[in-house]
Amino acid sequence: MIITVAGAGTWGTALGRILALNGHEVRIWSRFPKETESLSAERKHPNLPGCVIPDSIFFTSDIAEAAAGADYILMAVPSVYTRETAHDFAPYIDEKAIIISAAKGIEKDTLMTLTEVIGDELSRAGKNNTVTAISGPTHAEEVAKDLPTLIVCACEDLEAAKKVQQLFDGTCIRPYVNPDIKGVQICGALKNVEAIAVGIARGLGYGDNTCAAMITRGMEEIRRLGLAMGCREKTFFGLAGIGDLIVTATSLHSRNNKAGYLIGQGRTAEEAAKEVGMVVEGMNALPAAVSLCEQFGMDMPIINAVRSIITEHAKPSDVVTELMNRSLKME
Ligand SMILES: NC(=O)c1ccc[n+]([C@@H]2O[C@H](COP(=O)([O-])OP(=O)(O)OC[C@H]3O[C@@H](n4cnc5c(N)ncnc54)[C@H](O)[C@@H]3O)[C@@H](O)[C@H]2O)c1
Ligand SMILES: O=P(O)(O)OC[C@H](O)CO
């Protein structure tokens, strides 16, 4: 198969490498010629130490060249660039190509999932390609080292999801399918906000009890919202749900967890994002998460706590005190 990866960050590069090792013809596109030139020449990614990029992967900044004849287009740019990238790719995408969205986020203004954003741009260009999503507990740093990783390939069209499953099936990746594409993406976007909260707790010096409690109650917030949105309950207890929340809230690789930790230690959100140096999707997803809570009339105290700290500059320790003093309730 010919697979075009849009986005040469850590995730696009790690996935491109896996697909190339699975025997596919892989092209990786980045908007920035400097990035593609350096990756093509060096065969290593600055944020994936020890990972060798196979010689077979072709890098380009030319969309027409990247997309020509591709059977699959894998979108791996940060969520805020998904719409413009889908818009720019749309005219060049073959009508039979399947799109795979690998980013995690919800569009701030429309509250669309990223597959909806991509579908929207495709339909504006007169196309109706099938759009799927992949998710799960999947740090690029570990996939780049071939460590066993389970992913979810999501699409209402199960045949398309199974095709994507086949594509990724290999020695270190075990892919599952899930028809609940909305639930998978709601989990992927919101777990990043919850992971920032857990990072803040760590940065404040709280212990494992606090973090485990926040992961548990954070998942419950996501589940309640997801059910109100019509998602499948099982998704929240699966790889894209609790699995991804656990890895993001506990892994040293996690950009969201690290950003939260730095905020807990006293940095502003801007300083923390700069220090992380890679995309902190939980910060991008926060406005959409808050809007969804309001739209569906959901009580989401941890997400609201992150909002007060990041957007109202509330003191993190005061916010935790407020959370602890909320009215008592049934689990
Ligand atoms: N890194 C991971 O472990 C991982 C795992 C699963 C999902 N994801 C998701 O994948 C997405 C990408 O994450 P990442 O970690 O690869 O990010 P990253 O910070 O490593 O990559 C940033 C990349 O974004 C691209 N970019 C920047 N500005 C752009 C623009 N205007 N248009 C198009 N592209 C632009 C550049 O190619 C740059 O390399 C995120 O949504 C993230 O949540 C990441
Ligand atoms: O490093 P993070 O926090 O962006 O998380 C990356 C992936 O979403 C983990 O599955």
Reported as a single tens digit per residue, the pLDDT across 46-74 is 999 999 999 999 999 999 999 999 999 99
98: enclosing H helix or E strand:
strand 98-101
Q: Which atom of ligand 1 is nearest to the CA of 281?
A: 43
Among 5, 11, 107, which is best to mutate for testing ligand 1, by the most ligand atoms less than 8 A from CB? 11
Percent with pLDDT over 90 in the chain: 99
Give me the pLDDT at residue 131, please. Answer: 98
Span 200-209, mean pLDDT? Answer: 97
List the catalytic residue out of 104, 182, 191, 258. 191
Instruction: Tell me how far the alpha carbon of residue 271 lies from the centroid of ligand 1, in angstroms.
Output: 19
149 within ligand 2 shell (Cβ under 6 A): no
Query: How many A from CA of 328 to the centre of ligand 1?
Result: 41
CATH 3.40.50.720 fits 2-179, yes or no: yes
What's the pLDDT at 234?
A: 97
For residue 225, the model assigns a pLDDT of: 98
Query: What is the token pair recorded at 263?
Result: 């905020």
H-helix or E-strand spanning residue 131 = strand 131-135
What residue's CA is closest to ligand 1, atom 22? 9
Residues near ligand 1 (Cβ within 6 A): 7-12, 30-32, 35, 47, 76-79, 81, 85, 102-105, 138-140, 278-279, 281
The response to whether residue 119 sits with its C-beta less than 6 Å from ligand 2 reads no
The pLDDT of residue 128 is 96
**Closest ligand to the CA of 35:** 1
Residue with tokens 């998942």: 219
- pLDDT for 171 equals 85
Q: Determine whether 294 is exposed, middle or buried from the number of CB atoms within 10 Å of its CB (0-12, 13-18, 19+).
A: exposed
> 258 catalytic, yes or no?
no
Q: At a CB cut-off of 8 Å and minimum separation 6, what does 145 contact?
A: 50, 51
Are 106 and 189 contacting, i.e. CB atoms less than 8 angstroms apart?
A: yes
pLDDT in tens, 81-137: 999 999 999 999 999 999 999 999 999 999 999 999 999 999 999 999 999 999 999
Asked if 145 contacts 326 with a C-beta cutoff of 8 angstroms, the reply is no
| 198 in Cβ contact with 168 (< 8 Å) | no
Is 137 near ligand 2, meaning CB less than 6 Å away? yes
Q: Name the residue with the closest Cα to ligand 1, atom 39.
A: 9
Q: Relative to the alpha carbon of 30, which ligand is closest?
A: 1
Distances (CA, A) of 122 to 98, 183, 219: 12, 22, 32
- State if residue 35 touches ligand 2 by the CB under 6 angstroms criterion: no
Which CA distances in Å does 246 have to 7, 36, 104?
A: 25, 33, 15
Angle at 302 between CA 301 and CA 305, to 5 degrees: 85
Q: Give the pTM.
A: 0.98
* Span(s) in the chain for CATH 3.40.50.720: 2-179
CA contacts within 13 A on the Cβ side of 307: 15
pLDDT tens digits along 236-263? 999 999 999 999 999 999 999 999 999 9
Percent of all residues in the chain with a pLDDT value above 70, rounded to a whole number: 100
176: left (phi over 0), alpha (psi -120 to 50) or beta: beta
Closest CA to 198 of 102, 318, 79, 282: 282
Torsion sign, CA atoms 48, 18, 58, 87? negative
Who's near 320: CB < 8 A, 6+ residues apart?
Answer: 201, 204, 206, 305
189-324, CATH topology level? N-(1-d-carboxylethyl)-l-norvaline Dehydrogenase; domain 2 (1.10.1040)
Residue 6, classed as helix, strand or coil, is: strand
Q: Where in the chain is the domain with CATH 1.10.1040.10?
A: 189-324
pLDDT at 314 over 90: yes
Which helix H or strand E contains 265, and what residues bound it?
A: none
- The pLDDT value recorded for residue 261 is 98
In this prediction, residues 19-43 reach a mean pLDDT of 98
What pLDDT is stored for residue 198 in this prediction? Answer: 97
User: What is the pLDDT averaged over residues 289-301?
Assistant: 96
